[in-house]
């Protein structure tokens, strides 16, 4: 979808982006990451020509972007930034409608699209349509900013540290929404951040930059398992590497059928089972407590897992609520599986050879695995 070829930017003799070559495939969630001043934002802004390139070439869907009229190019590319850049004198709806209006869509189509996007980002259209940006919280404003970037259904979405200025709790909620929106829309996204945890939770491919050069371009798990050099290893951080890996693993890869209460006999000592109500929802867990093996624990909403939850979060809940297993429920709250502490440990033995299920979540169908040449430049 987007190919950067020998991309270079020099300011007054200083090279800030140095010969970067990489490809973001269709549907890729590509993250540009690196320390401050590594050239990640500059690289992003060269894609929509906010910054002219000094050398190299960028193609979008095979077309050289230098050959396209610049306004036309930008209307094909969604753009969201850290300060949101919402127009303070326009309502939320008018802000979201910016690009469709530039493209002269008919009014009814714009209205429908605005409502659709506001619903997608959990902003009630009736309540938020006519609000002005200064009446929104930071998280709401950022949602409007991303909705505005997606309004005209662009081929590509560029995001420049969009969640850098919101509080940590809101940031996690927004990241989860971004993952969901990416899955729903299949958009090609290029996302700039300096936060490795954010990159690991969002990216299908991470491009790590330092001093304007591309150090490694790789899927998140592979980058953790097989860092190109000490800089990459250090940047990822070694201390909680195990937890970082778990942030890229999903409950549905680890879950197993739930053990239900035996009908006729007492359970064996050391085992556990789930009690369910008549609609199949888990109500209590017998056993599987660290402190008291025979305890019966009432199931609370806070420690229920879903198949899409990361294993890092599942593990965190197990530790915090002191249980050895979590119930996995579907959208209706029905018990469909369980995930346990033993499962986490057992699966991690196979880390050196990532399981096939992992690849299916990290790489979309039709996309080829990275080759040595674009993954690790000399």
Question: In terms of CB distance, is 70 or 296 closer to another protein?
Answer: 70
Contact status: 191 vs another protein (CB under 8 A): no
Residue 367 burial (CB count, 10 A): 14
Q: Between residues 149 and 251, which has the closer beta carbon with respect to another protein?
A: 149
The encoded tokens of residue 372 equal 């040595």
The β-bridge relationship of strands 156-160 and 77-81 is parallel
Rounded CA-CA distance 378/371 in Å is 13
| CB of 226 closer than 8 Å to CB of 375 | no
We find the least distance from the C-beta atom of residue 218 to another protein, in angstroms, to be 28
Strand runs (DSSP E) across 237-306, as ranges?
273-276, 282-286, 296-298
Task: Assess 174 for contact with another protein (CB under 8 A).
Answer: no
Residue 121 near residue 151, CB atoms below 8 Å? no
- Residue closer to another protein by CB (options 96, 363) is 96
CA neighbor of 37 nearest in space, from 5, 9, 56, 58: 9
**Between 74 and 205, whose beta carbon lies closer to another protein?**
74
Site for another protein contains 132 (CB under 8 A) = yes
Counting contacts by CB under 8 A, is residue 87 touching another protein? yes
Decide if residue 119 touches another protein (CB under 8 A). no
| 320 binding another protein? (CB under 8 A) | no
Whichever of 149 and 344 has its CB closer to another protein, that residue is 149
Q: Which stretch binds another protein (CB under 8 A): 29-37, 85-93, 273-281, 284-292?
A: 85-93
- Smallest gap from residue 41 Cβ to another protein (A): 11
Interface pattern 134-153 for another protein (x via CB under 8 A): x----------x--xx----
Distance between CA atoms of residues 362 and 186, nearest Å: 13
Closest approach, Cβ 105 to another protein, in A, equals 14
Q: Residues 158, 221, 223, 311: which binds another protein (CB under 8 A)?
A: 158
Taking the complex as a whole, the smallest distance from the CB of residue 48 to another protein amounts, in Å, to 6
Q: According to CB under 8 A, which one of 13, 62, 88, 331 is a site residue for another protein? A: 88
Q: How many residues does the chain have?
A: 378
Torsion angle, alpha carbons of 30, 35, 39, 45, to 10: 50
- CA distances (Å), 283 to each of 85, 153, 287, 296, 326, in order? 47, 43, 13, 10, 12
- Could you say which residues in the range 92-111 bind another protein, by CB under 8 A? 98-99, 102
- The whole-angstrom separation of Cα 163 and Cα 83 is 9
- The answer to whether 89 contacts another protein (rule: CB under 8 A) is yes
What count of Cα atoms within 13 Å lies in the side-chain half-sphere of residue 85?
16
Size of the site for another protein (CB under 8 A): 27
* Residues 48 to 77 in contact with another protein, rule: CB under 8 A: 48, 50, 70-75
- The tokens for 54 are 């000094």
* Tokens encoding 51: 């910054």
State in angstroms the smallest separation of the CB of 23 from another protein: 22
Report the distance separating Cα 137 and Cα 296, nearest Å: 41
Interface residues with another protein (CB under 8 A) are 48, 50, 70-75, 79, 81-89, 98-99, 102, 132, 134, 145, 148-149, 158
């Amino acid at each position: 979808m987007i190919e950067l070829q020998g991309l270079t930017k020099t300011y007054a003799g200083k090279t800030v982006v140095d010969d970067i070559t990489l490809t973001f495939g269709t549907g890729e969630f590509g993250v540009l990451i690196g320390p401050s001043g590594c050239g990640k934002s500059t690289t992003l802004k060269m894609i929509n020509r906010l910054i002219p390139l000094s050398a190299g070439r960028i193609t979008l869907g095979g077309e050289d972007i230098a050959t396209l009229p610049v306004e036309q190019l930008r209307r094909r590319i969604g753009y969201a930034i850290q300060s949101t850049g919402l127009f303070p004198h326009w309502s939320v709806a008018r802000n979201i409608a910016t690009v469709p209006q530039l493209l002269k869509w008919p009014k009814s189509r714009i209205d429908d699209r605005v409502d659709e996007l506001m619903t997608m980002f959990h902003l009630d259209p009736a309540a938020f349509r006519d609000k002005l940006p200064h009446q929104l919280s930071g998280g709401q404003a950022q949602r409007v900013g991303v909705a505005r970037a997606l309004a005209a259904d662009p081929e590509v979405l560029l995001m420049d540290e969009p969640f850098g200025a919101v509080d940590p709790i809101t940031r996690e909620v927004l990241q989860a929404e971004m993952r969901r929106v990416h899955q729903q829309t299949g958009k090609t996204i290029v996302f700039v951040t300096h936060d490795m945890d954010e990159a690991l939770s969002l990216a299908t491919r991470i491009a790590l930059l330092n001093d304007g050069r591309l150090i490694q371009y790789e899927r998140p798990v592979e980058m953790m398992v097989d860092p190109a050099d000490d800089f990459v290893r250090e940047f990822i951080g070694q201390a909680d590497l195990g937890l970082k890996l778990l942030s890229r693993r999903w409950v549905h890869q680890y879950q197993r059928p739930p053990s239900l209460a035996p009908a006729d006999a007492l359970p064996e000592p050391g085992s556990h089972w789930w009690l369910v109500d008549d609609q199949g929802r888990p109500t209590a867990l017998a056993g599987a407590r660290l402190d008291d093996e025979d305890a019966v624990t009432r199931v609370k909403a806070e420690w229920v897992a879903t198949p899409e939850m990361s294993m890092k979060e599942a593990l965190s809940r197990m530790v915090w609520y002191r249980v050895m297993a979590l119930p996995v429920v579907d959208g209706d709250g029905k018990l469909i599986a369980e995930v346990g502490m033993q499962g986490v440990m057992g699966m991690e033995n196979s880390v050196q050879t990532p399981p096939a299920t992992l690849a299916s979540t990290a790489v979309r169908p039709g996309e080829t695995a990275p080759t040595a040449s674009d993954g690790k430049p000399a």
